[in-house]
Structure formats: C-alpha cells, structure tokens
Amino acid sequence: MRMDCELAGESLEERAAGLLPAARAAELDEHISLCPACARQLRWISGLKASVRALPRAALPAELRAALLDAAGPRPGPLDWLRARRATAAGLGFASAFAAAGLALWLRAPEERLPLDEVLTEHGRYEATMPAADRESLYAGLAEAGEAR
Amino acid sequence: MAIHEAQRRLVEEYSERGYQFAFGLCGNSEDAKELVQEAFYRILRKWDSYDAGQPLEGWFLGILRNLYMDSLKRYERRHGVSLDAPLAGRSGGDLNLADAMADPNEEALLDRLCRRNLGARVRRALDGLSREHKAVLTLLDIEGLTYGQIGQVMDCPLNTVRSRVNRARAALKKVILEKGKEAYADGL
Ligand SMILES: [Zn+2]
C-alpha cells in the first residue's frame, strides 16, 4: 500500500527525530520525494527542532550544585578509591603499579614518610599521570623481579 | 560503584540538564531552584539500593518526572487551574501542522528558520506555550528522549505522546507564523 499524506504526516516528527525504523523511514522518504506539501512540513519540523536545540540554556547556579552534591553524600576518600580500583583493576598490572608507587614513597627515610592516606592519594595521582611506556616497562621489570625471586 | 559515588555522578552529570528543564517550565530561577532541589532530594533519599548494571539515565528520568509533575502542581496551586482541564487548548489546540497554508511570508520565515535566524522569536514562542507543550518539545528536541521515555516522564501512553508532540509543534509553528505576519505587516 502506498503511503498517503495523512499517514506520512503522522510519522514526520519521528522521522525528524531519527526515531523511525529504517524500512518505515524509506517508505516515508519515498512519499516525501513526490509530495511537496509533506516535504515542506518536514522542513518546518526540522527547522523548529534545530532552533529549539540551539536556544541558549540557563546556567546551573553554583550554590544549587553544591547543595545537591552535599545531599549526594561524602566525596569518595582514598580508601574508597582504592576499593573501587581493586574491584575493577585487571590483576597484576594494577597491583604492580600500586606496589611500585607506594613502595617508592614508603621507602623514603622515616622522617620523610607520608601517612598511609597520603601515600594512597599520591599513588592515584601517580598512576593517572604516568606515561604508558613507563608503565609498561615498570610492569615488565616487576614481572621479571617476581620470576627471579 | 558505591552508592554515594553513583549519587555524586548523577548530580555531576545531570543537575545542569535538570535545572534547564525546570527553568524552561517555570521561567524563573527561584522556582526552578526549588523544583530541582526537591526533585533530586526525593530521588537521593529513595536510593537505598544501587544496581551498578542499571544506567544512571534511569534515575535522571525519575528526576525529570518529579520536575514535570511538581511544576504542574505548583502552577495549579497558584492559578487554581485543574490538572484535568485540557491543557492543549491553551496553546494551539487541535491545530494541525498542515493547517497553516503556504504563502510567501511562510516561505520567507521557513528560510530564515532553516538558516537559524529566528532564535529570539523561537524563544518567545516556546515560552508562550502551555507547560505540557513546552515540556514535550524540550524532552524531545533538547533532551533527545524517545517517545517511550517521554511517556515515562509525563505519565502517558505512546499515542498520547505522539499527539502531544504533533500539537505542540503545530502550536509553536502557529505562534511563529502569526508573529512573522505581524512583523511583515509592520514593515519589518
Ligand atoms: Zn504528502
């Protein structure tokens, strides 16, 4: 059955929003290519959609954002971070990087040692900024050391 | 992900969009702030279990729903209008998008619209629509929700979403055409 204007008109919004299944979109497009009235409606819908999307938006007030974050609960501490990483990190890679970074800090002279929390936080910064090549050579070195032991 | 962490992410990722939706619905920052605070608080309080496999977007839909329903209640309280009153009639009614006949002014307006030259007029026209029409167009055009998701937010079946979208679009077009004709008549 060929699509008529009424049926086409019902689907123009979904066509403009990209929500029509491909087969139906193709059928509609065929109708539109032969029907100037429906083609014009589609241009209106698309033009209005784009204009609504382009309107300037209100900025979220900073104090509201702060209040919502407060309500969401405490910012995750280093130990939460560690727990989360442990749960998701893939095996040796993370453990080795952690050991190396933590150990490097811990092996300082006792008067220079940081409290455990700071070591963990420091490790987070360290791993996040470490160049990939360094990380790989570190892992390789640690694996070697592990085998030699 | 721990609950608090997920909640913070929800706030970080969606509070701005929630505020923009609320601001669009009520048109001033005081009401928008109150609505957003209440909508988020209610979701956060209710959040006693967290399934990491569930996308945060589901919670955001809940927030949008709170914002929409509360904005309607607030409007009703202030203006004494029942929620059962047909909202569509307030901005365009059953106008069909095709009802507006093609004329040279319309073609000129359509060209300007497609060249994104009608921003201020579109803003005023959108602000003049009913809450229901404003909401449905914002959810579709700005938030990019599917019809099913819009139905969840506005608590209505798919066919109702479809007809609301069509009516809202027709109402928006009608206002822009009318203002356009006035502007042409004034020699602008
Ligand atoms: Zn047609």
- The per-residue DSSP string of chain B comes to --HHHHHHHHHHHHHHHHHHHHHHHHSSHHHHHHHHHHHHHHHHHH-----TTS-THHHHHHHHHHHHHHHHHHHHHHH---TTS-GGGGGTTT--GGGSPP-HHHHHHHHHHHTT--HHHHHHHHHTS-HHHHHHHIIIIIS---HHHHHHHHT--HHHHHHHHHHHHHHHHHHHHHHHHHHHHTT-
CATH architecture of the region B2-79:
Orthogonal Bundle (1.10)
Please name the amino acid found at residue A27.
Answer: E
**What's the gap in Å between B85 CA and the centre of ligand 1?**
33
ipTM: 0.84
CATH of domain B98-185: 1.10.10.10
Which residue is associated with the tokens 């008529």?
A4
Q: Are B11 and A65 in contact (CB under 8 A)?
A: yes
- Flag if A51 and B113 touch (Cβ within 8 Å): yes
The whole-angstrom distance between B11's CA and the closest CA on chain A is 6
State whether residue A142 is helix, strand or coil: helix
Domain ranges of chain B: 2-79, 98-185
The whole-angstrom distance between B126's CA and the closest CA on chain A is 8
For chain A (149 residues), the mean pLDDT of every run of 10, in chain order, is: 85 96 96 95 95 94 96 71 54 45 42 38 36 43 45
- Flag if B15 and A45 touch (Cβ within 8 Å): no
**What is the tens place of the pLDDT at every residue in B63-113?**
999 999 999 998 888 877 654 444 443 444 444 455 445 567 788 888 888
Q: Does A47 touch chain B (CB under 8 A)?
A: yes
**Looking at the partner chain, which of A46, A52, A83 has a beta carbon nearest the beta carbon of B137?**
A52
CB atoms within 10 A of CB A18: 8
**What is the tens place of the pLDDT at every residue in A99-132?**
444 444 444 434 343 343 343 333 333 333 333 4
Q: Quick one: which of B154, B150, B130 has its CA closest to B68?
A: B154
For residue A86, give both structure tokens: 């442990």
pTM: 0.71
The whole-angstrom distance between A19's CA and the closest CA on chain B is 7
